[in-house]
Amino acid sequence: MDSDVEASPAPLRAGRGRPAKLTAALIVAKTREMLAEMQPEEINFALLARKLRVPSSSVYNYFPNRDALLNAVAADVFAGFHFDDPRQAVPWQQRLRAWLDELDDFFDRNPVAFRLMATNSQASPAWTNVRVTCFEVLQGLGYSGRELSLVHAWFEGQVTGLLLIEYHAGRNRANAGGIDNDPSKATSEAERCDIERRHYLPTIKRQEIISLGFDSLIGALERMAKGNARA
């Protein structure tokens, strides 16, 4: 249990001096707010209690430990993911692409979700529910056992890595135009090529990168599926 080494903070007030009632929802909301600036491992009940202006022992009345709290926060965040799954009504490529597009939109609106995909080094139950479509598609392609685990780990890593990188890089490309991009100042062919590359960066849209990545991943799965069918 996190120890309270400081004096208990003054209780949170809610109108006319009446103490606000601490609830699980209030704790989850404050933790979600903190995760916008902090990593999950940086959050402890003593710090959270100070933010809420309550004794840390009060938090334990709702959550036995940090993992339980983070799972609750993950459930709250990923509850915002909505996918109208067409299932067998469309080819698997179209179903998977629709899921990927929905995932892209969700993470772009909720970047804190990147920090809640796993708790205690394990996939959070909320994230497990979100990614079930990907599992079903891979199973439909004939993958099972260790091979399913391998292909899924590769695919999910590529997808989430792409989304996380583009969340930051997409915002940085817009600033590339402010750098001196005069090719006549290049002192080598490598530098000239890089100046030319930077010149076009502000014109490249985030969605172009995401779409190219998704198309490439689905194309790779198609080639792998054809190879498995011939084997």
The ranges assigned to domains in the chain are 1-64, 87-230
* Mean of pLDDT over the chain: 88
pLDDT of residue 229: 76
Task: Match 């695919």 to its residue by tokens.
Answer: 155
Considering only CA atoms, give the Rg of the chain: 23
Q: What is the CATH number of domain 87-230?
A: 1.10.357
How far apart CA 160 and CA 203 sit, in angstroms, is: 24
Q: Is 80 exceeded by the pLDDT of residue 171?
A: no
Per residue in 39-68, pLDDT (tens digit) is 999 999 999 999 999 998 999 999 999 999
CB-count burial class (<10 Å; 0-12, 13-18, 19+) for 77: buried
Q: Residue 200: which pLDDT band, with cuts at 50, 70 and 90?
A: confident
Going by C-beta distance under 8 Å and a sequence separation of 6 or more, which residues neighbour residue 140? 92
Decide the pairing of beta strands 118-119 and 122-123: antiparallel
How does pLDDT run across 10-24, given as a tens digit for each residue?
Answer: 445 544 544 468 999
Cβ count within 10 A of residue 52: 21
Identity of the amino acid at 188 = S
The first and second tokens of residue 24, run together, are: 């699980």
* The total number of residues written for the chain in this structure: 231
| Partners of 123 in beta bridges | 118
Instruction: Enter the pTM of the model.
Output: 0.83
Q: Answer whether 63's CB lies under 8 Å from 84's CB.
A: no
Query: CB–CB of 158/216 below 8 Å?
Result: no
**Model confidence pLDDT, tens digit, residues 114-158:** 999 998 889 999 999 999 999 999 999 999 999 999 999 999 999
The one-letter amino acid code at 49 reads A
In tens, the pLDDT along 68-85 reads 999 999 999 999 999 999
Contact indicator for 39, 81 with CB cutoff of 8 Å:
no
Kindly report the three-state secondary structure assignment for every residue of the chain: CCCCCCCCCCCCECCCCCECCCCHHHHHHHHHHHHCCCCHHHCCHHHHHHHHCCCHHHHHCCCCCHHHHHHHHHHHHHCCCCCCCCHHHCCHHHHHHHHHHHHHHHHHHCHHHHHHCEECCEECHHHHHHCHHHHHHHHHCCCCHHHHHHHHHHHHHHHHHHHHHHHHHHHHHCCHHHCCCCHHHCCCHHHHHHHHHHHHHHHCCHHHHHHHHHHHHHHHHHHHHHHHHHC
Range ranked top by mean pLDDT from 10-14, 185-189, 206-210: 206-210
